């Protein structure tokens, strides 16, 4: 639930609860106040009646009556309510009465005085309607004021939140924040500006270090590889030749890993911005022709169904993605296995036969995840492929079923 809606809802609930409580309290207070006032008036009239009766003037009028009662009738005052028929309105009306018994001389007399009043059910309805109107006006105006006031107050915050979500430390553009008159939002803006500046400085330093480290590592690797090539041309023992071959293999693997890590760093930093429409079928056919001899050396059967397809991407990244998926199929397909390659306008599917993975399949796109049977692999190819797809808003999925490893790339439309 959005913050603005939540605060408005809480205000509405609180307002309605308070109005209900005050309405009930007001009714109880009015009921007591009106009841006490009527009782006082009736007591005063009853007292005047008895005063006149002691003077020999026994009053008898509508709603007023004094009669002689039995000697054993107890003295005292009783209040009550009654219904009397109104001939004019043709309905029963509620009356409140006092019945008081006093001793006058040797006899006892009872005076009854009645007064009409609005029934408590009418009070309920009247107060309910008044409070209903008051609640509607108060809560309605309060909700509107609260909504628009909060909306105005929170507008800079939501705009800044959107700008922060779209901000990237790799972008040359500075983070633009809207000013606010609220002190807390001013402090938040200051903190965000300071945080983004520090993040950009750290990003640039890390980027520079990564690039420099990659280039610095590549140079000695090239020298080592060159020296090993020259040493392999000299006369040497079989044992020494074996050592040189192992060293060259390690250098080649280190060079590949260095290149892959540099590519991953560039992908993480969103360096590739030169996107264009790329003919995927041309790249796929070119890669297959380059690797055709390698597939033939393992007697792998290639089933190709390549249609015309293009997608919006950096050409180098598209080439790397297809190359990595084909290399993965070549590496993990057994001798005399089978590889199926299908390309449509929306998808690229590369499947190969092979044994089940010896690690959880959900880890297949994680860095340095590889089979124990292929220790020479860097374990970065599929991680790079996943990052390329994420960068292009493509979907790369994997499944193993019935002895087939299947990778499916869905291109965004």
pLDDT tens-place string over residues 2-58:
655 666 677 777 777 887 787 778 778 877 887 788 888 888 888 888 888 777 777
Q: What is the pLDDT of residue 340?
A: 94
Residue 56 CB contacts under 8 Å (≥ 6 apart), including other chains: none
pLDDT at 90 over 60: yes
Q: Which pLDDT band holds residue 325 (cuts at 50, 70, 90)? A: very high
Distance of CA 362 to the CA centre of its chain: 25
Q: Which pLDDT band holds residue 352 (cuts at 50, 70, 90)? A: very high
- Percent helix, strand and coil across the chain, each to the nearest 5: 55, 20, 25
Cβ atoms 17, 96 nearer than 8 A:
no
Tell me the pairing of strands 107-116 and 64-69: antiparallel
> In the chain, what is the straight-line distance between the N-terminal and C-terminal CA atoms, in Å?
32
Of 221-225, 331-335, 346-350, least confident by mean pLDDT is 221-225
Residue 276, beta-bridge partner list:
313
Per-residue pLDDT, averaged over 215-222, amounts to 70
Residue 411, beta-bridge partner list:
none
Beta strands in 31-75 (DSSP E): 60-61, 64-69
Of 75-79, 141-145, 184-188, 353-357, least confident by mean pLDDT is 141-145
Residue 394 in 3-state DSSP? coil
Structural domains in the chain, CATH included, are: 3-135 (no CATH), 184-268 (1.10.287), 276-410 (3.30.565.10)
Backbone conformation region of residue 103, classed left if phi is above 0, alpha if psi is from -120 to 50, else beta: beta
Cβ atoms 364, 352 nearer than 8 A:
no
Residue in the structure block whose two tokens are 């390690």:
250
Residue 53 in 3-state DSSP? helix
Exposed (0-12), middle (13-18) or buried (19+): which is 56, by Cβ within 10 Å? exposed
Per-residue pLDDT, averaged over 354-375, amounts to 76
**Segment 372-407, tens digit of pLDDT:** 666 566 677 888 888 888 888 889 999 998 889 999
Backbone conformation region of residue 217, classed left if phi is above 0, alpha if psi is from -120 to 50, else beta: alpha
């Amino acid at each position: 639930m959005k913050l603005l809606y939540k605060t408005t809802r809480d205000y509405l609930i609180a307002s309605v609860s308070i109005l209900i409580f005050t309405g009930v309290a007001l009714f109880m207070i009015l009921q007591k106040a009106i009841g006490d006032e009527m009782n006082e008036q009736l007591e005063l009239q009853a007292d005047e009646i008895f005063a006149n009766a002691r003077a020999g003037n026994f009053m008898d009028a509508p709603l007023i009556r004094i009669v002689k009662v039995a000697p054993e009738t107890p003295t005292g005052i009783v209040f009550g309510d009654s219904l009397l028929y109104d001939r004019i309105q043709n309905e029963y009306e509620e009356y409140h009465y006092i019945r008081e018994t006093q001793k006058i001389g040797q006899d006892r007399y009872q005076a009854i005085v009645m007064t009409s009043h609005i029934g408590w059910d009418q009070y309920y309805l009247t107060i309910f309607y008044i409070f209903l109107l008051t609640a509607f006006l108060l809560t309605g105006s309060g909700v509107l004021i609260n909504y628009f006031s909060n909306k105005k107050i929170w507008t800079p915050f939501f705009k800044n939140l959107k700008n922060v979500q779209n901000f990237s430390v790799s972008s040359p553009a500075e983070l633009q924040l809207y000013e606010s008159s609220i002190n807390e939002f001013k402090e938040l803006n200051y903190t965000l500006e300071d945080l983004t500046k520090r993040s950009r400085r750290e990003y640039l330093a890390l980027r520079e270090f990564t690039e420099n480290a990659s280039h610095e590592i590549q140079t000695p690797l090239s020298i080592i590889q060159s020296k090993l090539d020259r040493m392999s041309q000299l006369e040497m023992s079989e044992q020494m030749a074996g050592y040189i071959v192992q060293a060259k293999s390690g250098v080649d693997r280190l060079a590949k890993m260095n290149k892959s890590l540099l590519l991953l760093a560039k992908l993480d930093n969103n360096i590739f911005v030169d996107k264009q429409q790329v003919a995927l079928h041309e790249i796929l056919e070119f890669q297959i022709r380059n690797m055709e001899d390698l597939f033939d050396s393992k007697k792998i059967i290639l089933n190709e169904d390549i249609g015309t397809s293009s997608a919006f991407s950096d050409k180098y990244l598209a080439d790397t993605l297809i190359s990595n998926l084909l290399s993965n199929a070549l590496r993990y397909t057994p001798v005399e296995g089978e590889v199926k390659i299908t390309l449509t306008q929306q998808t690229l599917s590369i499947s190969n036969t092979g044994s089940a993975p010896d690690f959880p399949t959900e880890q297949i796109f994680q860095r340095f995840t590889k089979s124990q049977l292929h220790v020479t692999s860097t374990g970065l190819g599929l991680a790079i492929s996943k990052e390329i797809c994420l960068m292009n808003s493509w979907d790369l999925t994997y499944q193993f079923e019935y002895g087939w490893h299947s990778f499916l790339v869905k291109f965004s439309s």
